Amino acid sequence: MENKAHAFVAGAFVIGLIGLIVALVLWFTRDTAVRNIYEMSTSDPVSGLQPQAAVRYRGIMVGKVQSIDFDPKVRGNVRVRITVDERVPMTKSSYAALSYQGVTGLAAIALNDDGASQEPLKPDNSNPPRIPLKPSSLAKLQERGEAILDQVERATQKVNALVGDENQKRVADALENIAQVARSANQLTQRLDTTVKDGIVPLVDSTRTTMVSVKKAAGDVSRVANNLNTTVTRFNAEGGALDRLASSTEGLSQALDSFNTTTLPRVNRVADDTALAVRRLGRAAENINENPQSLLFGAGKSIPGPGEPGFAVPVPATAARP
């Protein structure tokens, strides 16, 4: 009996200790926050979302998913009820979206507000207000999956056409041409280097000599310019060559006027007299040429010509014979 009493006391102590631990756990984990109920209705799949899933408002834990069932108001939609802490500033522009956690596939509800309205959303647990459930990024990706796959297929076809045998040959030819151009450029660079080494140094020396000659010529030109300036100054000075030239020109002009008014008429008369004498001398020479005996016997009587008194037609010699 004594052993049974000890066992009963030990068992009662263990059971009491377990109950105390459970009570402490419930005490420390109790939820005293006041929560409001909201509903969401969607035609999109809610894969990975389960009751008691977390509800976050901009990353802060504010509630849990209460239930997931079919929407009695909209045929074919899924209704999700959530409980949200009453301190969360829910407005008529608040919305929800599914948020997936890592690679586990489990989903949570993410609440947000775009700020379009500042009017508070009044809670009513008997008839919970509804907030929109926007498609998640995964749902948008699924909707656009077919278009993305088509684009990927077209891109794959283009890539296959790009890496075809003909294009590969073209690429190989282009690479060979590039290699030839590189070799030609290397040879040209070497020739240019040799040309620069062989030609630049003599060119620099020649340039230096030319510059010295140019500098010397510039000095000579400067001296010539100074001498020319001095000569021009002397030429333009009073009593200089320019004034003397002007005086000489004036005297020459006066001499020309005198020649035109006095000497030139006399020269003209002498020329006329000379021309008359020459004409007379010409006629005398013609007479002597026609009648040379006139030099010995004189001019004599001239034979009258046709139309003059005493003119007779000469008789031919053949007619005078018997």
Q: State how far Cα 285 lies from the chain centre.
A: 102
Helix, strand counts (H, E) of the chain: 8, 7
Residue with tokens 């007779």: 312
Give the other-Cβ count within 10 Å of 300's Cβ. 9
Give the pLDDT confidence of 126-152 residue by residue, as tens digits.
Answer: 899 999 988 877 666 766 777 788 888
Those residues whose C-beta lies under 8 Å from the C-beta of residue 80, and which sit 6 or more positions away, are 39, 40, 41, 42, 46, 49, 65, 67, 68, 109, 133
Residue ranges covered by each domain of the chain: 33-135, 144-230, 237-280
pLDDT at residue 204 tops 80: no
Compute the distance between CA of residue 319 and CA of residue 229 in angstroms, rounded to an integer: 101
Give the pLDDT confidence of 54-112 residue by residue, as tens digits.
Answer: 999 988 899 999 999 999 988 889 999 999 998 888 998 999 998 887 667 788 899 99
Compute the distance between CA of residue 279 and CA of residue 125 in angstroms, rounded to an integer: 162
What is the pLDDT at residue 80? Answer: 93
Residue-averaged pLDDT of the chain:
77
More confident residue, 301 or 34: 34
Residue with tokens 């775009």: 114
Helix (H) or strand (E) holding 118: none
Q: What average pLDDT does this structure show over 228-244?
A: 67
Are 96 and 104 within 8 A, CB to CB?
A: no
Least Cα distance to 95 among 131, 61, 52, 138 occurs for 131
More confident residue, 105 or 113: 113
pTM over 0.85: no
